Amino acid sequence: MTLRDILNKLLRRQESSANTARERLQLVLAHDRADLSPDLLDQMRKEILEVVAKYVEIDIEEGAVSLETEDRMTALVANLPIKRLPSGAIKVKEHGESSDN
Amino acid sequence: MSTNTRIILICSGKGGVGKTTLTANLGIALARTGVRTAVLDADFGLRNLDLLLGLENRIVYTAQEVLEESCRLDQALVKHKQEPNLALLPAGNPRMLEWLKPDDMQRIVSMLSDQFDYVLIDCPAGVEDGFKNAVSASKEAIVVTNPEVSAVRDADRVIGLLNTNGINPVQLVLNRVRPKMIASQEMLSVDDVTDILALPLLGLVLEDEQVIVSTNRGVPLTLSGINSPAARCYSNIASRLQGEEVPLIDPAKEGSGMRDKFRRLMQTKIF
Ligand SMILES: Nc1ncnc2c1ncn2[C@@H]1O[C@H](COP(=O)(O)OP(=O)(O)OP(=O)(O)O)[C@@H](O)[C@H]1O
Ligand SMILES: [Mg+2]
């Protein structure tokens, strides 16, 4: 965050175009490098969510799987919010419990 | 074939980012330090290197005639009058688009390696046959890009292909850097581009009107002795390529007026 960024926020001006360029490039390059079609990525996202949902209760709506890239290494990053019990404990499913719903 | 010859591909993916200008200026700058330098115009469909070097009227033969043995290599090489350590070899002429194969390129580069310390190959834009031929004959590469999204994206694609082809080292030259735009955060910074592409930076070249003036004249900046911003950048690149440690020009420190100082203040990272 720079002085200019703060000034832009205060004046509700647009984000600087260099920042936008950087963010757009990082995203597009992660996809270019992985060479995965959006369909395949989406399929993978669904299956990963299903597997994880077998073990812990997750918020399917909030779950996101994305590609990120740094130093020419591409990582598959899954962000899967786990539902908690009122006690704060994680909701672990019994093995064999059906995974639908 | 001499194993010490540095065979360097100058490529970019995207067209018009400054490959030929870099090849011409770097070729002259290297030759001026006393090393025997050949510049090979692999972009023979749209050849331009002769024009930037002011040698367009002196081309008689090309690499094709050499390979067909209808002339000798030294007949096809165009020696630069003001800088005799530099010679230009056009790979072919625009009429023979289909002619060149990776094997031809390798043969011609191997002949050049016997006589020169540096061979700079000016690569055509794109990632198709012209690029593949040139890669097949190269050992190392300089990827030229501009601080713009499309040029950086294409550079990334090229870097991937160079890596799969075992080209090493691959270094970056960031061309047409505009300090004022970087300061107002309307242009990707040098760090942004090197971070994104994860390549070592061989150098940056500032945007400079003198580049156009020098192409008009057919006298590269590194030959004319003009002390312009881009001229300094090109000489620094030549020195670094030869292993000298030359500090990078800091675009943020270009310009010393009140406005420049204010821009710098606005750019300071506070958290
Ligand atoms: N640092 C610079 N400052 C100003 N203008 C520049 C700079 N570098 C290159 N140019 C201009 O950009 C244009 C393209 O340069 P050049 O022909 O070297 O690119 P190229 O990558 O070889 O293009 P192509 O892909 O068509 O072969 C030219 O008009 C040149 O004068
Ligand atoms: Mg060119």
Q: The complex's ipTM? A: 0.81
Section B45-72 average pLDDT = 93
Residue A18 domain flag: yes
Residues of B in contact with A28 (CB under 8 A): 153
Query: Do A47 and A78 belong together in one domain?
Result: yes
Return the SS3 of B28: helix
Residue-number span of the structural domain to which A51 is assigned: 36-95
Ligand 1 centroid vs B16 CA: distance in angstroms? 5
Interface test with B, best of A1, A7, A20, A22 (most B CBs within 10 A): A22
Return the SS3 of B86: strand
Residues of A in contact with B196 (CB under 8 A): 22, 25-26, 29
Q: Closest approach of chain A CAs to the CA of B188, in angstroms?
A: 5
Section B100-114 average pLDDT = 94
Query: Do A90 and A41 belong together in one domain?
Result: yes
| Residue in A with minimal Cα distance to B155 | A29
| Least confident window among A56-60, B35-39, B79-83 | A56-60
The pTM for the full model equals 0.84
**Which among B21, B209, B233 is the best mutation to test ligand 1's pocket, defined by most ligand atoms within 8 Å of the CB?**
B21
Q: Which of A7, A18, A25 sits opposite B186 (nearest CB)?
A: A18
Q: Which whole-number Å values give the CA distances from B28 to B57, B80, B258, in the listed order?
A: 18, 9, 37
Query: Do A40 and A76 belong together in one domain?
Result: yes
Residue A10 domain flag: yes
CA distance B241 to B6: 10
| Any B CB within 8 A of A17 CB | yes
User: For residues B198 and A99, which has the higher predicted lDDT (pLDDT)?
Assistant: B198
Q: What is the DSSP string of chain A?
A: -BHHHHHHHHTTPPPPHHHHHHHHHHHHHHHHHHT--HHHHHHHHHHHHHHHHHHB-B-TTT-EEEEEEETTEEEEEEE-PBPB-TTS-B-BPPTT-----
Identity at B49, one-letter amino acid code? L
User: For residues B184 and B265, which has the higher predicted lDDT (pLDDT)?
Assistant: B184
Return residues 30-59 of A near B (CB < 8 Å): 32-33
- From the list A5, A100, A6, the residue with the least C-alpha distance to A53 is A100
pLDDT at residue A100 is higher than 70: no
Query: Do A25 and A40 belong together in one domain?
Result: no
Note whether B48 and B18 are within 8 A (CB).
Answer: no
**Which among B11, B122, B211 is the best mutation to test ligand 1's pocket, defined by most ligand atoms within 8 Å of the CB?**
B211
pLDDT at residue B271 is higher than 90: no
pLDDT of residue B20: 98
Paired tokens of B189: 């910074």
User: For residues B14 and B101, which has the higher predicted lDDT (pLDDT)?
Assistant: B14
pLDDT of residue B263: 67
Q: What is the CA radius of gyration of chain B?
A: 19
Residue A49 domain flag: yes
Closest residue by Cα to atom 18, ligand 1, is: B18
- Those residues whose C-beta lies under 8 Å from the C-beta of residue A22, and which sit 6 or more positions away, are B188, B192, B196
| pLDDT category of residue B121 using cuts at 50, 70 and 90 | very high
Q: Are strands B6-11 and B170-177 parallel, antiparallel or unpaired?
A: unpaired
Q: Which CATH class is domain B6-267?
A: alpha beta
Query: Do A6 and A27 belong together in one domain?
Result: yes
Contact across the interface for A22 and B192, Cβ inside 8 Å: yes
Section B6-33 average pLDDT = 98
pLDDT of residue A99: 46
Query: Do A68 and A91 belong together in one domain?
Result: yes
Percent of chain B whose predicted confidence (pLDDT) is above 70: 93
Query: Do A15 and A61 belong together in one domain?
Result: no
CA distance A3 to B42: 47
User: For residues A11 and B9, which has the higher predicted lDDT (pLDDT)?
Assistant: B9
Mind listing the pLDDT tens digit for each residue in A9-62?
777 777 789 999 999 999 899 888 887 777 888 888 888 888 888 888 887 777
Q: Which of A2, A26, A28 sits opposite B269 (nearest CB)?
A: A2
Query: Do A40 and A64 belong together in one domain?
Result: yes
Q: At what angle do helices B190-197 and A17-34 cross, to 10 degrees?
A: 10
Query: Do A42 and A80 belong together in one domain?
Result: yes
pLDDT at residue A101 is higher than 50: no
Give yes or no for residue B43 CB within 6 A of ligand 1: yes
| Any A CB within 8 A of B266 CB | yes
pLDDT at residue B165 is higher than 90: yes
pLDDT of residue A81: 82
pLDDT at residue A86 is higher than 90: no
Paired tokens of B96: 């023979």
Give yes or no for residue B12 CB within 6 A of ligand 1: yes
Query: Do A40 and A20 belong together in one domain?
Result: no
pLDDT at residue B107 is higher than 80: yes
pLDDT of residue A37: 77
Long-range CB contact pairs, B229-236, < 8 A, 24+ = B229/B254, B230/B25, B230/B205, B230/B206, B231/B25, B233/B203, B233/B204, B233/B205, B233/B206, B234/B22, B234/B25, B234/B26, B234/B29, B234/B205, B235/B29, B236/B203
User: For residues B128 and A64, which has the higher predicted lDDT (pLDDT)?
Assistant: B128
Contact across the interface for B152 and A32, Cβ inside 8 Å: no
Mind listing the pLDDT tens digit for each residue in B195-230?
999 999 999 999 999 999 999 999 999 999 889 999
User: For residues A9 and B86, which has the higher predicted lDDT (pLDDT)?
Assistant: B86
Residue A101 domain flag: no
- Those residues whose C-beta lies under 8 Å from the C-beta of residue A68, and which sit 6 or more positions away, are A26, A30, A74, A75, A77
User: For residues B42 and B99, which has the higher predicted lDDT (pLDDT)?
Assistant: B42
Mind listing the pLDDT tens digit for each residue in B241-261?
999 999 998 887 765 566 667
**What distance lies between CA B22 and its chain's CA centroid?**
4
Section A82-91 average pLDDT = 78
Contact across the interface for A18 and B268, Cβ inside 8 Å: no
First to last CA, chain B: 55
Residue A100 domain flag: no
pLDDT of residue B146: 98
Q: Which atom of ligand 1 is nearest to the CA of B215?
A: 31
Query: Do A46 and A24 belong together in one domain?
Result: no
Domains of chain A: total:
2
| Any A CB within 8 A of B101 CB | no
CA distance B261 to B264: 5
H or E, element range at B134? helix B129-136
pLDDT of residue B97: 58
Q: Where are the domains of chain B?
A: 6-267
Query: Do A20 and A61 belong together in one domain?
Result: no
